[in-house]
């Protein structure tokens, strides 16, 4: 799909009467002070590079890939040095309601730690009210091989809600996220993660500062510690990966 879109573009540019391409290619790349996934550090609280590319069709179908670097250090999370996600789905407005549906299949790939590969089915509903946008969604990881390496539930359900607000007349926007993980991917327990931040857009660049964390406490980490990279149960590293932090990022989009 991406290749055909690139090939078609020069020919269309020579003919001003030709209709616009049904395909759109967008992407982004940037640096983050650390990589947090659903509130849990995937990079030992260290900086990462991340990027994405999406090919969208006018019908509403799309295909995307996203990637991130990562460091393990002695943390309780080791994704093998990198993550590559591939996902595709369909998005469309529901009649005249102003509500937009988005759903599809999401695959998480870890080249350096393939035992952790898994997929989720996802769906969400979003609606914009003036400068504000609200969204609710769910990601379900059904029974699959990755859960052989976890004790307990052989599936996972992640539900979340988001609220964003663009400050009128400025390049600033505010965003927030609240989610709940329950099932095979529990971190010491069924847990809640949150994200609240401010973004500033300048030309193709976006600057963001966000507070990210979970409700995993010192007590939770002591009572149910995960093992660090030496194989030792570590309450310190368990809590460190889930504690509240400030995450900053600079990214460029095209």
Q: Compute the residue count for the chain.
A: 254
Residue 62's pLDDT band (cuts 50, 70, 90): very high
Tell me 222's DSSP state.
H
Is the pTM higher than 0.85? The answer reads: yes
Tell me the C-alpha to C-alpha distance, in Å, between residue 249 and each of 18, 50, 205: 39, 10, 10
List, in sequence order, every residue forming a beta bridge with 95; answer none if it has no partner: none
Instruction: Copy the structure tokens of residue 102.
Output: 């988005």
Instruction: Copy the structure tokens of residue 171.
Output: 């390049």
Distance CA(97)–CA(209), nearest Å, equals 33
In this structure, what are the phi and psi dihedrals at residue 5, rounded to the nearest 5 degrees?
Answer: -70, -40
| Residue 16 confidence (pLDDT) | 62
Distance CA(13)–CA(19), nearest Å, equals 10
| Residue 221 confidence (pLDDT) | 98
Give burial (CB, 10 Å; 0-12/13-18/19+) of 40: buried
User: Residue 13: pLDDT above 50?
Assistant: no
List, in sequence order, every residue forming a beta bridge with 225; answer none if it has no partner: none
Q: What does the pLDDT average to over 15-25?
A: 81
Question: Among the listed ranges 72-76, 148-152, 181-185, 230-234, which one has the minimum average pLDDT value?
Answer: 148-152
User: Residue 42: pLDDT above 90?
Assistant: yes
What is the three-class DSSP state of 225? coil
Tell me 95's DSSP state.
T
Q: What is the CA radius of gyration of the chain?
A: 20
CA angle 162, 168, 170 (to 5 degrees): 100
Q: What does the pLDDT average to over 87-104?
A: 97
The 10 Å Cβ neighbour count of residue 167 is 12
Residue 150's pLDDT band (cuts 50, 70, 90): confident
Residue 151's pLDDT band (cuts 50, 70, 90): low
Q: What does the pLDDT average to over 71-88?
A: 97
Tell me the C-alpha to C-alpha distance, in Å, between residue 217 and each of 73, 220, 243, 253: 22, 5, 8, 36
| Residue 8 confidence (pLDDT) | 39
Q: What does the pLDDT average to over 133-158?
A: 93
Task: State percent of the chain over pLDDT 90.
Answer: 89
Q: What does the pLDDT average to over 95-115?
A: 97
| Residue 197 confidence (pLDDT) | 98
| Residue 7 confidence (pLDDT) | 35
* pLDDT tens profile 231-247: 999 999 999 999 999 99
């Amino acid at each position: 799909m991406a290749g055909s879109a690139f090939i078609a573009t020069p020919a269309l540019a020579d003919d001003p009467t030709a209709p616009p391409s049904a395909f759109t290619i967008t992407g982004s790349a940037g640096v983050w002070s650390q990589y947090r996934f659903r509130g849990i550090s995937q990079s030992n609280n260290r900086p990462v590079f991340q990027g994405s590319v999406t090919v969208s069709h006018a019908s509403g179908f799309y295909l995307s890939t996203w990637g991130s670097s990562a460091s393990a250090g002695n943390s309780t999370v080791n994704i093998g040095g990198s993550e590559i996600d591939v996902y595709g789905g369909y998005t469309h407005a529901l009649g005249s309601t102003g509500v937009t549906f988005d759903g599809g299949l999401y695959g998480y790939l870890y080249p350096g730690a393939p035992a952790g590969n898994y997929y989720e089915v996802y769906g969400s509903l979003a609606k914009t009210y003036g400068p504000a946008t609200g969204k609710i969604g769910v990601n379900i990881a059904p029974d699959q091989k990755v859960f052989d390496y976890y004790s307990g539930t052989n599936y996972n359900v992640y539900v979340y809600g988001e609220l964003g607000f663009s400050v009128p007349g400025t390049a600033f926007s505010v965003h927030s996220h609240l989610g709940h993980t329950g099932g095979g991917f529990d971190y010491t327990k069924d847990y809640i993660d949150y994200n609240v931040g401010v973004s500033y857009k300048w030309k193709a660049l976006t600057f963001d500062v966000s507070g990210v964390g979970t409700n995993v406490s010192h007590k939770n980490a002591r009572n149910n510690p995960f093992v660090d990279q030496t194989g030792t149960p570590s309450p310190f590293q368990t809590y460190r990966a889930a504690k509240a932090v400030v995450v900053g990022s600079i990214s460029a989009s095209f």
